[in-house]
Amino acid sequence: MKETIGRILMIGGVLGVVYYGYQYFQDSESFEAFGADVAVSTGDYTPIIISAVVMLAGIVITKFNFR
């Protein structure tokens, strides 16, 4: 049972990191200043961190069998 919950958390975390990571890079803006291309990110990185923590929790639950 714990293995199943761990896998669900792990898959959900991976999907969250991929989705919010893509969205974070889409929120980036770039402009040219003095001949150099400057990129500024206006995205929020908090959902990426939360998804990564959920993914790591899933990995820990799956790999270590707590009783």
- Which residues, listed in sequence order, are joined to residue 29 by a DSSP beta bridge? 40
pLDDT tens by residue, 15-29:
999 999 999 888 877
> What is the residue type of 47?
P
Domain ranges of the chain: 2-63
Does residue 14 carry a pLDDT above 70?
yes
CB 5 within 8 A of CB 57: no
Give percent of the chain above pLDDT 70: 96
Q: Which long-range contacts (CB under 8 A, 24 or more apart) does 16-22 make?
A: 16/47, 16/48, 16/50, 16/51, 16/54, 16/55, 17/48, 17/51, 17/52, 17/55, 20/47, 20/48, 20/51, 21/48
Q: What predicted TM-score, i.e. pTM, was given to this entire model? A: 0.75
